[in-house]
Amino acid sequence: MNVLIVLAHPERASFNGGLVNIAEERLRSAGHDVEIDDLYQENFDPVERASHYAERADERYFAPLTEQRAHYERGPLPADVQREIARLEWADLVIFQFPLWWHAQPAILKGWFDRVLVYGGLYSGSRRYDRGHFRGKQAICSVTTGSPEQAFMPFGRAGNMVEWLWPIHSSLYYVGFEVLAPQVSYGIQGGGIRYQDEDLFLDHLENAKQAWASRLPGLGQEPSIPFSGWDDWDEQGVLKPAHPMRWRP
Ligand SMILES: Cc1cc2nc3c(=O)[nH]c(=O)nc-3n(C[C@H](O)[C@H](O)[C@H](O)COP(=O)(O)O)c2cc1C
């Protein structure tokens, strides 16, 4: 299996970087090919803007979707976007490794979605969700948080991880990926607020690494998160009345 690891962390020696090293080592020793896509090291520009497009379809008004489609169809797409798309086409499994920043992915990764998932190429009106471009490929988010796990429990002060990850999970499904349950390493304080004493914290870091290391070899066999698809929706894109999720208590 070809595995692409997209790292969104400004410090390669961070805990996040360490999880990348573990994934690389585990997956390589299980016989997989691994490529690391370190967005900060490559100085990826996450801001979608007119200057990325050499030969504008419309010089007077910059509409990102119009330019994305035109540059996908007749070229040239920006070189960094071409490189990222080639990596995605190569991969069978994509691992997104990032810390939770303000209840979401770091801006560099949000912008990666804005620029790399090109309209007219990687999705269109008829090629989305279970008819999406990346059908048959898997994706997983490996996320670290500063707050401890208890704070993410129902009614906890850190909020709901299912909601925080919904935008990225549903975006991956939108372009066809089978999305695996995330690996969440909670309570990785990263120089921030301390929640426990040093020895306990170091044990905790070790356990989090072990949990990821032991999950990695089986990722290719894991079932994906079930999403609804085209057959489940009416013409408005709403679940059909007979769909089991439309139950009434
Ligand atoms: C800008 C910024 C925003 C953050 N927002 C959150 C947050 O919303 N929730 C949380 O639990 N931790 C938050 N943190 C803490 C990081 O998630 C934590 O430091 C990181 O996961 C530790 O991993 P690292 O050592 O690899 O950086 C934030 C950190 C930064 C720098």
- Nearest CA owner, ligand 1 atom 1: 101
| Among the four given CATH numbers 1.10.1040.10, 3.40.50.720, 3.40.50.360, 3.20.20.30, the one describing domain 2-246 | 3.40.50.360
Helix %, strand %, coil % of the chain (to 5)? 40, 15, 45
- 195 confidence band (pLDDT: 50, 70, 90): confident
Residue 192 pLDDT > 90: no
- Which residue(s) pair with 101 in the sheet? 104
Dist. CA 8–CA 104, nearest whole Å: 12
CA of 148 to the centre of ligand 1 (A): 11
The count of C-alpha atoms lying within 13 angstroms of the C-alpha of 85, restricted to the half-sphere facing its C-beta, is: 19
Tell me the mean pLDDT in the region 130-158. Answer: 97
CB 132 within 8 A of CB 173: yes
* 3 state SS of 230: helix
Q: Beta-carbon neighbour count of residue 25 at 10 Å?
A: 13
Pocket residues for ligand 1 (CB within 6 Å)? Answer: 9, 14-16, 99-103, 144-147, 158, 188, 190, 192
Domain spans of the chain? Answer: 2-246
CA of 246 to the centre of ligand 1 (A): 36
Residue 189 pLDDT > 90: no
- Which residue(s) pair with 144 in the sheet? 99, 185
Amino acid at 172: L
Give the per-residue pLDDT at 73: 97
Give the per-residue pLDDT at 232: 97
- Which residue(s) pair with 179 in the sheet? 139
- 149 confidence band (pLDDT: 50, 70, 90): very high
CA of 202 to the centre of ligand 1 (A): 17
Residue with tokens 């996320």: 143
Indicate the top mutation candidate among 9, 19, 20, 102 to test ligand 1's pocket, ranked by most ligand atoms within 8 A of CB. 102
Tell me the mean pLDDT in the region 110-126. Answer: 98
Classify burial at 95, counting beta carbons within 10 Å of its beta carbon; exposed 0-12, middle 13-18, buried 19 or more. buried
- Position in ligand 1 atom list of the atom nearest CA 104: 8
